[in-house]
Structure formats: C-alpha cells, structure tokens
Structure 1
Amino acid sequence: MLILFGALLLLLVIGVPIAYALGLASLAYFMIEAPFGTGFVIQRFFAGINNYPLVSLPFFILMGLVMNSGGITQRLLDLSTFFVGRMKGGLGLVNVVGSMIFGGISGSSASDTASIGSVLIPEMERRGYPRSFAAGITVASSTMGMIIPPSVPMIIYAIAAEESIGRLFLGGIIPGIMVGLLQLVIVWRIAKARDYPTEVVPFTMKEALRQARRSAAVVIMPVLIVGSVVFGFVTPTETAGTAAVYGLIIGFFLVGFTVIKDLPGAMRNAIIMSAKIMMIIAFSQVFITVLALERVPDQLADFVEGLGLDATTFLLVSAVLILLAGTFIDVSPAILLLTPVLLPVAQNLGVSGVHFGVVLVSGLAVGACTPPVGNCLNVCAAICRLPIGQIFLGAAPFLMANVVVLGLLCVFPELVLWIPDAVMGP
C-alpha cells in the first residue's frame, strides 16, 4: 500500500492528471508485487467502462449544454426575479433561486456557474454589489446543481456503488432545497445589513401568468426526468437521451435556429467532458481492484469497529474527510476513490448506500468551491476576472449553509431517505 499511495501522491504532486495518476500508481503496484499480473490492468481498464448506465452520462451533459445555449437562463432568471426580486438584495436572491431551478436542469455545478454567472455577475456590479459578493453567491449557489436532481455526480456514484439512480435523485431533493433556503436567508441578512438594492418588479396576476407561460416548459423538465426514472417508464439512459432531445426542441422554439447552430459545439464539449470522466472511471477501477486485493475496505471496517464508532459518528468523521478530499481532488475522481473505501464500512454500520451517497455528493459539492482545485472557482474566475482566493472569501458565508446541511444529513438520515422510501418503498 505504501507503493500504491506513495506513487499516487507523487504523481499528483508533479501535476499528472488524476486519471493517469491512478493508472500509473496501479501499474507500479503490479510491476513490483505481481509482475506477471500487469495484463490484468488492461482487463480492468476496459471492464470499468463496459457498463451500460454510463451511456447516460454524455446525454445528460449534452442536455445541460443544449439548455444553456437555448435561451433558457434568462427566462429562469426572469421567473426568479418575479418571486424574490422585490426583497432586499433582490439580485442576490435571484442568483440563489435561479441556481436552484437551473440545477434541476443542467445537473452540473460548473454549467450553473457559467450560465448564471455570465448574466448576473455583471448586472449585480452595475447595481452596486461588490464583485466578490456577486461571484461568491454565484459559486456557492451552484453547489445545488450537484445535489438537486438530475445530478451527474449522483449518476457516477450510483454506478460505482451499484445503487438505484432513481432513489439517489429523490434523496437529493430535500438536502438541495435546504441548502437553497439557508443560502437565501444568509443573502437576505447580509443585503439588509449592507442596504443592497431591491428590484422594481410588477407583482400582478397578468405578470405571473406571463412568467408561467414563458418558463413552464423549462421548469417541468426536472419533474419529467426524475419521474420517468423513478416510476420506471424508461431507463436512466433512455431518459437522458430523451431529455437531450427535449432540450433541443425547447431551445428551437425559444431561439430558433441558433440552438441548431450551437449543437455541434455542444456535442463536441459533451464528448470531451464524457471522455475525461470515462478515463477516470476506467483507471479508478484498476485502482479499486488493488484496494480490494489488499483488503483495504475490510481493514478499515475492522479498525472502525475496534474504535466502537456508531453510524452517526462515522458519518460525521467521513464528512470531514470528504470536505478535505474535495479541496484537493475533483468531484468525479473523489467519488470513485472514496466510495469503495468508505461505503463498505458505512454499510457494515447500517447506513444506507443512498444515504451515504447523498452525504458524499453534498460534501464534495463544497469542494468544488474551495481552492486550489475547485472547478466552480476556476469557471467563475474566468467570468469575473478575480483571483480564486478572493472569490472563495466571498463565497465562504454562503458555503456555511452547505456545511450545516451536511451535518444535519449525517445526524438525520430521514432527510435523505424519506422521499425515496415514500415514493419507491423502503
């Protein structure tokens, strides 16, 4: 294990991409411990991606990219402004509500940051908000894109843990809404203390009907996606493909042939993003095989049992570890690295795989907003041209909502399991 983790740490320190670092560390292990088993690396590599549910990944990514280029963002922000714009710090509240809705469409925090941030950060600056405040809200609220269904990280975890995608989608609803509501309270309190402006918004039945008509086809999309998976009308893979086509149709009716013109670029980006994830998954399977050969999960389970930790304490300790790991490792590889190590221990203590998965993704969502690796920070920095450290300081008060919710999820599993059990049975 010293060879395995030592090689992995060294490769990461010198800047080798995580996928290749996992593969090379595993290869080093086999070359030293079992030279005649190096062919096993290739076998496990292809076995890792020979998984039918993985076909849904590029379709869900394409769906988010198509919706992003289809004129969806502005309509969602207009709808959010109608509901919360007249309150103190109206645009800050719009930022959070817009992320809650957009997170249920794109399934990606980075897409959320790019879409919402490119529109709202410049507008908030023009209305007198500090740039770091606007960027901080954008980054922190984008974390809901990983928690509120549909969620690409949830799909990756479901594949790694062999759990139900439908149950995981349902399990993320309450935690995602809790994060959004707490962030709204924090934004409102800060805006009230600093006397940030409100927005002039007509609050009439006519305007409500207009906003509902403009946004209904978009807002209903997450319900259709999650509902079709949960009730078994289609498989997750079929749902992803249908959702991509649905997004294309909506975009066509909203912006015409522009969405068709942008489709080749969206498909190219979806292919590149999916290929990166697939490479990580493939090499992580080799790494996981080595962990299994060395009985690392079993040894960790015995160690935890010797400490006498109960399920709640273990989850709280795991949450701290997840937050630390998310600071240095991107979301997808962190899921694939931590799941085979921590999940067996959690299950031995009676923790549901769905409960642990939502805790894992919720914790890693914070990591997407923390330096130095935070993907959302880097996306936001490219938009607002601020150092990632300054953006993180702006986001820190709002990320406290995520940390509080993460702690509550560890203590109260019903927050995750109530909806899945009510809809799909225990």
Structure 2
Amino acid sequence: MTLLLVSLFAMLLIGVPIAYSLGISGILYFVFLEPDLIGVLPQRMLAGMDLYTMIALPLFILMGLVMNASGITSRLIDFCLMLVGRFRGGLGHVNISTSMIFGGISGSSVADTASVGASMIPEMARKGYTVETASGITVASSTMGMIIPPSIPMVIYAVTAQQSIGTMFLASLVPGVMIGLFMMGVIVIMSGRNGYPRASGNLSRKEKVSVIQRALLAFLIPVFVVGSVVGGIATATESAAIGAFYAITLGVVVFRTLPLSALPALFRSAIITSATVMIIIAMSQLYVWILTIEQVPLLLGNFLTSLELSPFALLLVVVLAVLFIGTFIDVTPAILLVTPVVLPILTQAGISPIHFGVLLVSTLAIGLVTPPVGMCLNVCSSITGLSIGRIFRGALPFLLANLLVILVVMLFPALTLWPTWLTP
C-alpha cells in the first residue's frame, strides 16, 4: 500500500493526469508484488466499463452540450430575472436560481460555470458587485449542477453502488434545492451590508408571458429525463437518449439557434469527454482490485468497528475524509475509489446507500470549488482572468451553505430517503 500511495501522489504532484496516475500506480503494484496477475489486468479494466447503464453517460453529456450551444442559458436568465430580479441583490439571486435550473438540465457543474459565468459575471460587475464576489457566487452555485437531477456523478455512483438511478435522482432533489435556497439567504445578508441593487422592475403581463414561453420548453427536459425513469417508462439509458434527442430538436428545429453543421463538433466533444471518464473508470478498477486483494475494506471496517462510533459519528468521519479527498481528486475517480471501500462499512452500521450517495456527491461537489484541483475554479479563472485563490475567497461564504445542508442531511436522513417510501 505504501508503494501504491507514494507512486500515486508523486505522479499527481508532477502533473500526470489522474487517469494515468491511477493506472501507472496500479500497474507498478502488480509488476513488483503480483506479477502472476498481470495477464488479468485488461479484463479487470474493461469489466468496469462493460455496463449497459454507462451508455447513459455520453448521452447526458451530449444533452448538456447541445442545450448550452443552443443558447438556452439566456432564456433561463430572463426567466429567473423575472422571478427574483426585483429583490435586493437581484442579480445574485438570478445567478443562483439560473444555476439551480441549468443544473437540472445539463447535469454538470463545470458546464454550469462556463455557461452561466460567461453571461452573468460581466453583468454583475457592471451593477456594483466585485468580480471576485460575482465569480464566487457563480462557482459556488454551480455545485448544484451535480446534485440536482439529472446528475452525471449520481449516475456513476448508482452504477458503482448498484442502486436505482431513478431513486438516486429523487433522493438528491431536496438537498440540491436546499443549497440554492441557503445561498440566496447569504445573498440577502450580503445585500444588506453592501447595498446590492435590484436587477429589474416589474414586467407587463405580456412580457411575462413571453419570457415564460421562451423558457418553458427547456423546463421540460428534466421532466422528461427524471420523470421517465422514476415513472418506470424508460431506463436511465433510454431517458438519456430521449433527453439528448429532445435537446437537439429544440436547438435545431424549434429555437433554430443550433445549425446542423455544429452537431458533429458537439458529438465529438461528448465522445472525448465520455472517453476521459471511461479511462478513469477503467484505471480505477485496478485500484479497487488492489484494495480488495490487500483486504483494505475489511481492515478499515475492523478499525472503525473497534472505535465503537455511533452511526452519525461514523458518517461524520467519512464525510470529513471525503471533503479532504475532494480537494485533490476529481469527482469521478473519488466516487469510484471511495464507494467500494466505505459503503460496506456504512451499510453494516445501518446507514442507507441512498443516504450516503447523496452525501458523497454533495461533499465532492465542494471539491470542484476548492484548490488545487477545483475544476470550476479553473473554468471561472479562464473567463475572468482572476486567480483561483481570489475566486475561492469569493466563494467561501456560499460554500458555508453547502456545508450546512450536508450537516442537515446527516441529521435528517428522511430528506434523502423519502423516495424509498414511494415503492412498496
């Protein structure tokens, strides 16, 4: 295990991508300690990707890319401006509520940061917000993108933990919305101190109808995707295909903002992004296998059992560990590495895999906004030119909302377990 961990961290420090760091570190273990098993490695790597459910991953990614390229963000911003722009600190509320809705469409926090940030940050700066604060609001609110359904990380967790994707989608809905509402509470406090203005006046009835009509078709995407899975009409893979087809139809036929010539580039981008995730999944299988060979889950379980912790204390220890892991390991490999090790221990302690899954993804979402990895920080930095340190400082007050929601969900599991009451 020393060889495994030292080699992994050494490669991460010199800038080797996480997928190859995991793969090289795992191969080194087998070369030096288990050379007889090297011939089995290709099979073990491919087994983790050879799942029908994983076809949903590139389809969800394609759906988000198409909606982003179709200019849907401006329609959502106009709708949110109508709803909350009249309140003090209106643009802050608009930023958060747009991220809340966009997260339910794209399923990606990084896409949320790129799309909403490019539109909202310059406008907020013109209305009296510092660029640091505007950037902080944008990256912090984008964490809802991987919590509010449909969520790409939630799909990966559901497959890894062998849970229903539809149930995981519903379980993450309440915590995701709570994060947005708590962040709006932070905006209210900051507006009182800094005098942030309202964003717009009252619209006429005709203008309101126009704004709603422009945004309504986009709102149907999460209804189609999540509703078809939960209602048993389609599998997660089929619902992702429905969502992608609907997104293309909106962009090409209805809105006419997406030319057919742009589709090949979007398909290519979705393939490349999906391949990156699949490579990480394949390489992480080596690590999971090594952990099994070394009996790490059993040893860790015995250690935690010996501490005689209550279920809440055990869950708190795990969440703190995940919070630390998320600062230097991206979301997908963290889910793939943590779940097989920790989930059996928590299940034995009576903690639901559904409850843990929501906490795991919610906690890892914070890692997208914390240095040194912080994918959302890096995207926002490329938009604004600010350092990731300054953006992180702007995001800190809003990340407290994330932490508060995680604590509330830990104390009240019913916030995530209510979907299980719907099934007999």
TM-score when normalising by structure 1: 0.97
Residues 12-38 of structure 1: CA distance to partner in whole angstroms, max 9, x if unpaired?
222221111111222111122221111
* 2:81–2:200 CA contact under 8 A, matched in 1: no
How far did residue 176 of structure 1 move? 0.4
| Corresponding position: 1:80 with 2:80 | yes
Per-residue CA deviations over 1:230-286 (Å, capped at 9, x if unaligned) read 121111111111111100111124541634232222111111110110000011111
TM superposition shift of 1:9: 2.0
Residue number in structure 2 paired with 1:335 = 335
Indicate whether 1:422 and 2:417 are aligned.
no
Instruction: Determine the C-alpha separation between the residues in 2 that align with 1:424 and 1:386.
Output: 48
Structure 2 CA distance for aligned equivalents of residues 258 and 151 of structure 1: 24
State how 1:376-391 maps to structure 2 within 5 Å.
Answer: 376-391=376-391
1:167 aligns with 167
Aligned positions of 1:313-332 closer than 5 A: 313-332=313-332
Q: Which moved more, 1:355-364 or 1:248-257?
A: 248-257
1:298 aligned partner: 298
Moved more, 260-269 or 114-123: 260-269
Separation of aligned partners in 1, 2:322 and 2:262: 37
**What is the deviation of 1:204?**
4.2
What are the residue-to-residue correspondences of 1:139-158 with 2, within 5 Å? 139-158=139-158
1:374-408 residue CA offsets vs partner (Å, 9 max, x unmatched): 00000000111100000000000001000111111
Report SS of the residue matched to 1:172.
helix
Check the 8 A contact 1:230/1:424 in 2, yes or no.
no
Q: Does the CA contact (< 8 Å) of 1:167 and 1:424 recur in 2?
A: no
* 3-state SS, counterpart of residue 372 of structure 1: coil
Query: Which moved further from structure 2: 406-415 or 202-211?
Result: 202-211
Contact kept? 1:57, 1:274, Cα under 8 Å: yes
**1:275-334 deviations in whole A, cap 9, x for unaligned?**
110000011111101111111111111111110012111111111111111111111111
TM-superposition CA deviations, 1:325-366 (whole Å, max 9, x none): 111111111111111111111111111111111100000000
User: Alpha-carbon deviations, 1:161-182, whole Å to 9, x = none?
Assistant: 1111111100110000100000
| 1:235 counterpart residue number | 235
Aligned to 1:177: 177
Partners of 2:109 and 2:153 lie apart in 1 by: 10
Q: What percentage of residue pairs aligned between the two structures are identical?
A: 49
Instruction: Give matches, 1:186-201, under 5 Å.
Output: 186-201=186-201
1:40 match: 40
Separation in 1, partners of 2:43, 2:11 = 23
Letter in 1 for 2:47: A
Residue 203 of structure 1 deviates from its aligned partner by 4.1
The answer to whether the 8 A contact 1:319-1:359 is kept is yes
Instruction: Give the secondary-structure state (helix, strand or coil) at the position aligned to 1:128.
Output: coil
The residue aligned with 1:358 is: 358
Q: Distance in 2 between matches of 1:14 and 1:316?
A: 32
SS of match in other structure, 2:282: helix
Which structure 2 residues correspond to residues 17-416 of structure 1 after superposition, within 5 A?
Answer: 17-256=17-256, 258-416=258-416
CA RMSD across the alignment: 1.3
How big is each residue's C-alpha offset from its partner over 1:124-151, in whole Å with a ceiling of 9 and x where there is no partner?
Answer: 1122211011100000000000100000
Please tell me whether the aligned partners of residues 248 and 259 of structure 1 are also in contact (alpha carbons under 8 angstroms): no
2:13 aligned partner, one-letter code = V
Q: Provide the rounded CA distance (Å) in 2 between the counterparts of 1:424 and 1:399.
A: 34
Answer with 192-201 or 161-170: which moved more: 192-201
Per-residue CA deviation, residues 174-202 of structure 1 (Å, 9 max, x unaligned), is 00010000000101210121011112232
Task: Give the superposition deviation at 1:80.
Answer: 0.2
Aligned with 2:88: secondary structure? coil
Match of 2:25, SS state, is helix
User: Which stretches in structure 2 are left out of the alignment for 5+ residues?
Assistant: none
**Contact 1:69–1:259 (CA<8 Å) still a contact in 2?**
no
Residue identity in the other structure for 1:220: L
Deviations 1:96-116 (A, max 9, x none): 000000000000000000110
Query: Matched residue of 1:403: which SS?
Result: helix
Aligned AA for 1:378? Answer: N
Counterpart CA distance in 1 for 2:95 and 2:262 is 25
Q: Is the 8 A contact 2:71 2:257 kept in 1?
A: no
Structure 2 counterpart of 1:315, one-letter code:
L
Counterpart of 1:3? Answer: 3
Unpaired stretches in structure 1, ≥5 consecutive residues:
none
CA distance in 2, matches of 1:77, 1:327: 30
How far apart, CA to CA, are the structure 1 residues paired with 2:81 and 2:379?
Answer: 24
TM-score for both structures, normalised by structure 2: 0.97
Q: Does structure 1 retain, via aligned residues, the 8 Å contact 2:224–2:242?
A: no
C-alpha contact (below 8 Å) 1:66/1:259 kept by paired residues? no
Distance (Å, rounded) in 1 between the aligned partners of 2:383 and 2:338: 31
One-letter amino acid of the counterpart of residue 60, structure 1:
F
C-alpha distance in 1 between matches for 2:254 and 2:233: 28
Structure 1 257/136 Cα, relative in aligned 2: closer, same or farther at 3 Å? closer
Q: Is the 8 A contact 1:301 1:348 kept in 2?
A: no
Q: Which amino acid aligns with 2:423?
A: M
Work out whether residues 140 and 398 of structure 1, in 8 Å CA contact, stay in contact via their aligned partners in 2: yes
SS in 2 for 1:86: coil
Partner Cα distance (1:296, 1:143) in 2: 31
Give, in whole Å, the separation in 2 of the partners of 1:281 and 1:259: 33
